[in-house]
Structure 1
């Protein structure tokens, strides 16, 4: 390499540093370790900010960075201190705090010297009001903070209420680079940063209560999510019909939506909570039927295919999409299918094995990230850790949970430069440790505290216009705020006004003491109503009134559902066909309701996904798609043979030769107040005309072919009308390709009008 430029060098670990230096070594260099490398002149260029060295847990050690800097030569060091992100008030406050917090220690190189920032943001992009916003607890006797969880509860409510009020009032303005201009602050301009995801549950509860749209970026609680819990209950019920607890949880989940009242009435009338039995005429009829069907197919189809059928039959994905954070919920459910497919491809798990594996992951509280759903322009508040936010910026940053930090010492300590280790094992009653553990524990504590200060620096410098600090949300003893030592709050406390001296609503030295007394910190919740079983008893009159109101509400809900269910008149392309395609050769029950349904789906999917110009992969693709659909081995083999034979047929060669064709073409058009919709298998162009082709997997005798064509004419007519409505003239013809016979029948458009 002639030149080697390494950015973010403070994030490199020793192994990466070795690679960098050896790649930069002078020709014919023979150094045995990187510290002995003679770097070729003008070859290596390192860029890094030691104040942002926060990845010690993955061996990105600040001491290695400082050693490399020394080895490169202090005379070659160039300091770049301009900050193009933060408003000037934030820059000044950051300098004021961290010139005291970030200093080189006397006993090592585990903290760099602080290089003050200089404001360098473009003129005209700074809002008239900007800077540090402090959220102190209001003077409210109802706010009692006796436990850490109480502190997080009230702080989270304060943050959520503050955001909602801020966005709804549209008074605070931020600079929008995409416009470019000032505009009112929106949800998407706000990021809530935290040291770890520990306070996440309380924050999510509060944001939901105050109707603040949000997304968690990189959360580790995927298996604890509500939608995953509901899905696990359904899978457990499918696996074991005798698991009554799982069955009840499944029935009460959004997948089936059975109410407690419906469950009680079903059981009280002698119903048996066993979906292997019929439940005709009850609310359990359809749920039991589907669960029974899924139970029967669980060992014959892939988990992915079973999940797909569950989602389609219950409209589960649509229901979860309508809930708060619906897109994230749906992404989480789809991820379960992706995980199942990955495990299935490795041949690792049966259906029962997958259910047990998923259950264990949830019980063990295994850490797993949620799939990302954010896209450019989405209007959501972002929740993420400071580590996740590194390299990002936001118009407003809220640093949550400043008063708390993780407790406990490391059990395994490594000093790589000194080539030492220290170990502690056991619990409080019986512990064992190496002789040097206490000494190295203090050594580790100093370095950990130094990195915590750098982490706080990174969090504060993510803010462009506003940095919001919720402060003093801590326990009290004898009227005194108990600020945990070595917490972030303890680090910034010397620069804050004491809680009893705050002038709410005023700006003071570029800080605003936001008036939290004007925030609603107790979201309204309707208490549950308890009614005596006998309405004639005391309180019966009130009970009758409430029950009457509930009955009216239920009637209104049913009327609304009925009205919504009617919708607009809608017809599908196959609605006029009296029978669904059947294939007497293939009987795949209980995998599918009708005969040949899976085989037909497999054929259509192969034609849709394969490259028609290269049919050589058809057998392999048939195996993959067939397994996902739950097809049998002979079905998969026959599907591959049939599609390969069809690709060589005159009609498909005609389509390929045309060079202009589209597969799986959706359409929708309106005629006489009715909306017609469907999907055409193939539409291709010949000259100035369009031609439609539809694959048919019916098993039909040659002598019955003409009657079969007549049978499908209503569907053909809709295809023809769709093309005419959309393009202004009808297709030249609609071709029905009967695959079992390898026969194609053309239906000219003019014949449809006769």
Structure 2
């Protein structure tokens, strides 16, 4: 009845049909019990498989997803066959036990195996569990929403009360105040790694039921308020609270002192439509059109701004398999990009070219590898030139001399390459693997060509990673170049997870392309979520073996044989997957600091639910219609722009037949190279890390020394270290006479064995210093001030290429103003202090810049010369 009342009259006929069909299946189940398929009549099987199956397919195209899922469950109930699965287990278990024992004997253990054994150790060995509970007084777990149930049980066991020992997690009593967890269930997106949102909720319930507190953090230090407001409105509606499945939304607030955005902040919606009025897009066509629009938008509207770099932009995908069309558009528009993580290392062109080179050197008659090599930047031949080379019978680099009779513009270039290949082919067989690859890099301009490619530095880093991989495998017995080539070819076919060189993660010279899962924890000024017209896809099939932690239910399935447990677990997983898709969207949207672009194409249909579908259901305004200026969601209006798909930009090509030498200005290249060399020399001589002391040395050197040194330099240095140590811990509100009683302990902590002979002299020097300082106006001032920090470390960018590090002696507040003081133990007279303080002017500027950057307040600075009790403001 609730389902019927939810829909208007035209839809009720469909609903009635669906409910009637479901009732028929349920009656059949009730009459037959829970039979296997062999117990059904042929007519019943035909009705179940054909008529009902067709009906379900039709209903799934409508918006009655829950009813369609109910039909599928009813169908699956008819396939429950415990007898078959029990026989299967009887056959398989001895094999599984044998494999497990063999692995254990040989020391083969996966990470999951380590977790399982750790849990077993805690639960089956009470003495070990008690000792670990006693050893660890507190347990802090970060990113708690990403842990899996086995890890939950380990955490709970370690956090259990002393003397208590429960056999199952439900019965564990937690030690009050011991377990501290940090996690955001709205960002639980790792179900494929067995992260369990239900387990998260149940552990939270256990903690709070035991007297624990749950505190909600709502300040967002990353995003602009113009981004957060629409995100809050969207997920107030998409995050419908469902216990153990989906938490409610918690609205985020922007940090009040956030730096101003470098681009107009906010959330925008872009929809690409076909160019013609009567045209329609399928999913692939929409993706191609949208990718072209995005590439032009980045080129013309974003990266044309002086302050914006390609590295400020991130394209985030649910799966990187969706990224190919967008990468093609970036390449055609000469936009550098880097793909971070997953399976793309072995698909990078420079890696493929290097594998072809190694393959050709090992197998000279491999014409497929030779074709790839000749088409690469190393060969530089066009398809037409390759065809002509093949037709002339010169597809063999071991016969390079024959090219003398080939009258072709590229004959000389091909012959030079062939001669290099033939030389390497002769030399490499007698060399170890690492030296063989080193020789290739020395003999051929492989790295130079990679550096000159679109991806420049990243391409070079990837080639160096191949070299490092070879070096790491070189100690394997009989690992030759041939073996390494076969390994690389196998990896090219299997496409294992392998990220590119991490160089790109810190670069601002390339657009970041990565999955939302990889982006979790990261932030970018501009985030683009492309392909929002792409559906979630068909529902995944049931796993052969499944397990539900909270209920302890196992599920088994094979082909059309199911256990009841597998149906129950599958039903729960289906609900969780739908909720997790929304959480993945949330994580993607909250990576944006300044600008979030939601982008997609206008399609006639898609497989599964799309993000555009979600937005249509919660917003006002037709997505993809030019008359819609903004999509209104709650109190937010998201600007909406419809763009007709432009003609695709063609990739730039080399001008065939042109005299390349005429295009090169040799004098200009020489001048640029001279400038580059000078700049490189300057960079090499510039230290990466600097301190206020080293920065101020040059300034201090020009100030004339006015005072003779009145003490031994080493005694003065040690006295200064001891004085700083004392004042770092001293409470200025106490009687200053207490300082003298701590000199001996400070000396013991500071002086090494070689310094003990100076202990008496250093103690006398420190006492004299303290006697003067403790009676001074400067000390009285500190006594009446509010101390904000002592020995405060800082690190910040300095100039274009340097990092500044330092430690501030003391920061305090006096008469409403912020002050920085730096203790000086220099042996100067009071009337010389002002001139002497000029040595430290650069240091004062650095300290003030660091405090202003951190506290957003303009501080004042003075040097406190302790020996003469003079305070000099700079």
Measured against the shorter chain, the TM-score band is 0.5 to 0.7
Paired residue for 1:464, among 556, 581, 593? 593
Deviation at 1:419, TM superposition (A): 3.1
* Counterpart selection for 2:538 from 407, 411, 433: 407
> Given that residues 52 and 454 in structure 1 are in contact (C-alpha distance below 8 angstroms), is that contact kept between their aligned partners in structure 2?
yes
In 2, the alpha carbon distance for the partners of 1:193 and 1:566 equals: 39
Contact persistence 1:50–1:65 (CA under 8 A) = yes
Q: CA deviation at 1:570?
A: 12
Matched, 1:475 2:610: no
1:129 and 1:248 map into 2 onto residues whose CA distance is 49
Is the Cα–Cα contact under 8 Å of residues 164 and 211 in structure 1 kept in the other structure? no
Aligned twin of 2:426: 296
SS of aligned partner of 2:527:
strand
1:498 is matched with which residue? 622
1:522 and 2:522 correspond:
no
Residue 489 (structure 1) aligned with residue 612 (structure 2): yes
Aligned counterparts of 1:209 and 1:118: Cα–Cα separation in 2 = 40
Specify every segment of 5 or more residues in structure 1 that has no aligned partner in the other structure, as ranges.
171-182, 477-481, 529-548, 572-754
Residue 201 of structure 2 is matched in structure 1 by 66
Structure 1 segment 64-463 matched on structure 2, within 5 A: 64-73=199-208, 76-105=213-242, 109-122=244-257, 125=260, 129-138=264-273, 140-141=275-276, 146-170=281-305, 184-259=307-382, 263=386, 271=394, 273-275=396-398, 278-279=401-402, 281=404, 282-283=411-412, 284-347=414-477, 349-374=479-504, 376=506, 378-404=508-534, 405-412=536-543, 413-425=546-558, 433-434=562-563, 437-463=566-592
- Matches of 1:24 and 1:43, distance apart in 2: 6
3-state SS in 2 of match to 1:512:
strand
Contact 1:89 1:510 survives alignment (8 Å): no
Q: Secondary structure at the match of 1:136?
A: strand
Which structure shows the bigger proportion of residues in helix conformation?
2
Q: Which has the larger radius of gyration?
A: 2
Whether the 8 Å CA contact 1:83–1:121 is kept in 2: the answer is: no
Q: Which residue number in structure 2 is paired with residue 512 of structure 1?
A: 639
How much is the aligned-residue C-alpha RMSD, in angstroms? 3.4
- Note the alpha carbon deviations across 1:14-43, whole angstroms, 9 max, x for none: 233233333333333333344433322222
Q: 1:500 to 1:514 in 2, by over 3 A?
A: closer
Please report how far the alpha carbon of residue 568 of structure 1 lies from its aligned counterpart in structure 2 after TM superposition: 8.2
Distance 1:164 1:507, change over 3 A: farther
CA contact (8 A) 1:87 1:121 kept: no
Partner of 2:206: helix, strand, or coil? Answer: helix
- In structure 1, C-alpha distance between the alignment counterparts of 2:438 and 2:284, rounded to whole Å: 39
CA separation of 1:399 and 1:550: change in aligned 2, threshold 3 A = closer
Q: State whether residues 283 and 606 of structure 2, in contact with CA within 8 Å, keep that contact through their aligned partners in structure 1.
A: no
The CA deviation string for residues 110-139 of structure 1, in whole angstroms up to 9 with x for no partner, is 222332333444266367943211112256
Cα 1:565/1:396, change in 2 over 3 Å? closer
Which residue of structure 1 lines up, in the alignment, with residue 833 of structure 2? none
TM, length-normalised to structure 2: 0.55
Q: Distance in 2 between matches of 1:407 and 1:310?
A: 48
> How far has the Cα of 1:61 moved from its partner?
1.0
Deviations 1:561-588 (A, max 9, x none): 69489958999xxxxxxxxxxxxxxxxx
Q: What do the CA deviations read for 1:275-299 (whole angstroms, capped 9, x no partner)?
A: 1564464534322222222223343
Preserved contact between residue 622 and residue 628 of structure 2 (Cα < 8 Å):
no
User: CA-to-partner distance for each residue in 1:531-582, whole Å, 9 max, x for gaps?
Assistant: xxxxxxxxxxxxxxxxxx965xx23x134469489958999xxxxxxxxxxx
CA contact (8 A) 1:50 1:62 kept: yes
Q: Return the offset for 1:51.
A: 0.7
CA contact (8 A) 1:267 1:273 kept: no
1:237 deviates by 1.5
Query: Where does structure 2 lack aligned partners over 5 or more consecutive residues?
Result: 1-135, 405-410, 675-874
Give the direction of change, closer, same or farther, for the CA distance of 1:562–1:193 in structure 2 (3 Å limit): closer
How far apart in 2 are the matches of 1:234 and 1:246?
Answer: 7
TM-score by length of 1: 0.63
Count of matched residue pairs? 523
**SS at the partner of 2:472?**
helix
Deviation by residue 1:212-238 (Cα, 9 ceiling, x = unmatched): 232221141222222222222222211
CA distance in 2, matches of 1:503, 1:314: 58
Deviations 1:283-332 (A, max 9, x none): 34322222222223343223332222222222111112111112222222
